[in-house]
Structure 1
Amino acid sequence: MPTTTPSLEGFMDHQHRKNGYARQCAQALNALHSIPYFTSDLADELAPFGIDDHSTVYLAGRASPLGIVDPAVVTAAFNSFAPRLVAERIPALWDLVPPERALRAREDASAAALERLLGTETVHSPQLAEAAKLATVAAGACALPGRPLYAANSVLPQPERPHAALWHAATMLREHRGDGHVAVLGHYRLTGVDSLVIDCASTHGMAKEIVMPMRGWTEEEWVAGRERLAGRGLVDAAGLLTARGAKLRDEVEAETTWLDRRPYDALGAEHVEQLALYVRDLVETAADAGVFPPPLRDFFAPPADVWNAL
């Protein structure tokens, strides 16, 4: 029997009907995961070990589940960081603080940040405890193959404090989607700086002025990436997405969502909606408290029209 390949539009419509709030849930959980990296809590936890560089603090948080590995492993798993930035910090970082101690620091930092920003009443509420349980169920349903950062986080002990448990589950789900995203980017030959250039060229990404230095790329490397993409017809001379580039980026996001469907299918549409809306409210509260810099407020806590279009 002949088969046909569904169009991207048909696929997206099917996914919207099937998963409902799944993409919004992933967006909200990613934002919740990101909160401690915009506060001083993790830096404060690591300061006694002589760690005061922002990039090193970030790597201590996200790379610690991998243990002591070669910087090439971290660069490969993260995809978007300049190899030079990673190699300048990994594995020397672990001479200052062992990975297991860094893991404790990030749990304490995330718990402190959430309690301060959301309020003691919220983090000790039955609603947050229920959200932590739902997120943990979803995170436990993810597949391991091809998901190195998810796998590394999935074998860590479950935090006892509900708000720390919610952050831990959000982190697993964020890394699960991220691992899949890296795989899709590799398929489309969008690795390293190229993946950042095309994202910043879209209306959905962060600004180059924020991303380029944060990920350790030079202006020359950024321009070279833009030229490679221009040669493929994905960006124009001004560095803006062409129609072809916009279509490719939509395909990347659609395929990433397809690879990320398992945890939300396991949770069920009603619970996914419940979790998405509750975590979104938490992120909005944190955003209102000023956790995200003004240029990134709408990226992590988008307005209602953008949120509903996810």
Structure 2
Amino acid sequence: MNATPPSARSAARRCAQAVNALHSLPYFTTDLADRLAPFGVTDQSSVYMAGRASPLGAVDAPVVTALFHAFAPGFVAERVPAIWRHVSPEHAIAAREAAAGAALERLLGTDVIRSAAMAEAAELAGVAAAGCPLPGRPLHAANAALDRPEEPHIALWHAATMLREYRGDGHVAILGHAELTGVEALVIDCASEHGMPKEIVRPMRGWTETDWAAAQERLRERGLVSREGTLTARGAALRDEVERETGRLDRRPYELLGASGVGKLAERVHGWVRTAAESHAFPPPLRTFFAPDTRQWNRL
């Protein structure tokens, strides 16, 4: 039974949204692509997979498909394990840390990344990330095994990545319990008012229109979406339940910080993410998804 009060759950969700957005920055800027291009990794999806999967080692496509969950298996297989013939996981890890550092310095400014606020945020995020249990959290555990970067702004990004993967690992477990495949979960999310646009998500994750239509039909047969592709009451309830359960499994790191620590980390990271968004770090259709203003926080 979840005894965490609603206000604490809401604060933790806002903090999780903030650190996820910070983690995402190197994948939307050109910094990581620029560092992987000399190795021959130029396709944007390959750049993403090399960066995010590198802590796992030179794994094959089925492992990445299983852990990433939302990507089409064939789309992954076109890129993995071929990327490891171009760049080693060790070089990809170094590239993504350098990319994160460069992106944050450029977007936020030298004064911010060298500030006491940045050092404190890195410490708070590090405490939260280090307190996450490892069992059942493979992507989180792979990142937890890496050395903590010395520079505070890169250490903050590293901790944000650990927290993002911890939540993501739990989310995948909940989706499995709900018997939702990767494409089905995307269809439900895109049909909700909180999801990203289908026009961006579907090709980004490698699903075809045929894949998407087949998933919609399966969900319609379960009574989760209508013939028009909108969520039914049952579909909306299932999505809400998946989000609640994901948050429940994600509560541990934020409980370690306490209300004050969670609030401080969320406020600072949200502020930095909004600064990055103002410099066009995210595509326009995704800006409010990654950088909501404070009036939207109560909806997260």
1:244-277: CA deviation from partner (whole Å, max 9, x where unpaired): 1111100000000000000011111110110010
Report the alpha carbon displacement of residue 20 of structure 1 after superposing the two structures with TM: 5.1
1:182-238: CA deviation from partner (whole Å, max 9, x where unpaired): 000000011221111111010100111000100001110010001011111111011
Change (3 A) 1:20 1:230: closer
Pick the aligned partner of 2:283 from 278, 290, 293.
293
Contact 1:20 1:273 in 2 (8 A): no
Contact 1:24 1:307 in 2 (8 A): yes
Q: How far apart, in 2, do the equivalents of 1:41 and 1:70 lie? A: 25
1:81-115: CA deviation from partner (whole Å, max 9, x where unpaired): 00111111111111100000000000000000000
Q: How far apart, in 2, do the equivalents of 1:175 and 1:293 lie? A: 22
Map 1:5-154; keep pairs closer than 5 Å. 14-19=4-9, 21-154=11-144
1:2-32: CA deviation from partner (whole Å, max 9, x where unpaired): xxxx8xxxx6x95423445111000000000
Report the alpha carbon displacement of residue 68 of structure 1 after superposing the two structures with TM: 1.1
Q: Give, as a single letter, the amino acid of the residue that structure 1 aligns with 2:25.
A: I
Q: Give, as a single letter, the amino acid of the residue that structure 1 aligns with 2:213.
A: V
Count how many residue pairs are aligned between Structure 1 and Structure 2: 300
Gaps of 5+ in 2: none
Structure 2 residue matching 1:216: 3-state secondary structure = coil
What RMSD over aligned residues (CA atoms) do the two structures have, in Å?
A: 1.2
Gaps of 5+ in 1: 1-5
Report the alpha carbon displacement of residue 309 of structure 1 after superposing the two structures with TM: 2.8
Q: How far apart, in 2, do the equivalents of 1:18 and 1:99 lie? A: 37
Tell me the residue number matched to 1:282. 272
Q: Give, as a single letter, the amino acid of the residue that structure 1 aligns with 2:229.
A: G
Contact 1:19 1:269 in 2 (8 A): no
Q: How far apart, in 1, do the equivalents of 2:7 and 2:33 lie? A: 42
Contact 2:10 2:298 in 1 (8 A): no
Report the alpha carbon displacement of residue 294 of structure 1 after superposing the two structures with TM: 0.8
Tell me the residue number matched to 1:170. 160
Contact 1:20 1:269 in 2 (8 A): no
Tell me the residue number matched to 2:207. 217
Q: How far apart, in 1, do the equivalents of 2:171 and 2:246 lie? A: 5
Q: How far apart, in 2, do the equivalents of 1:213 and 1:234 lie? A: 23
Contact 1:206 1:299 in 2 (8 A): yes
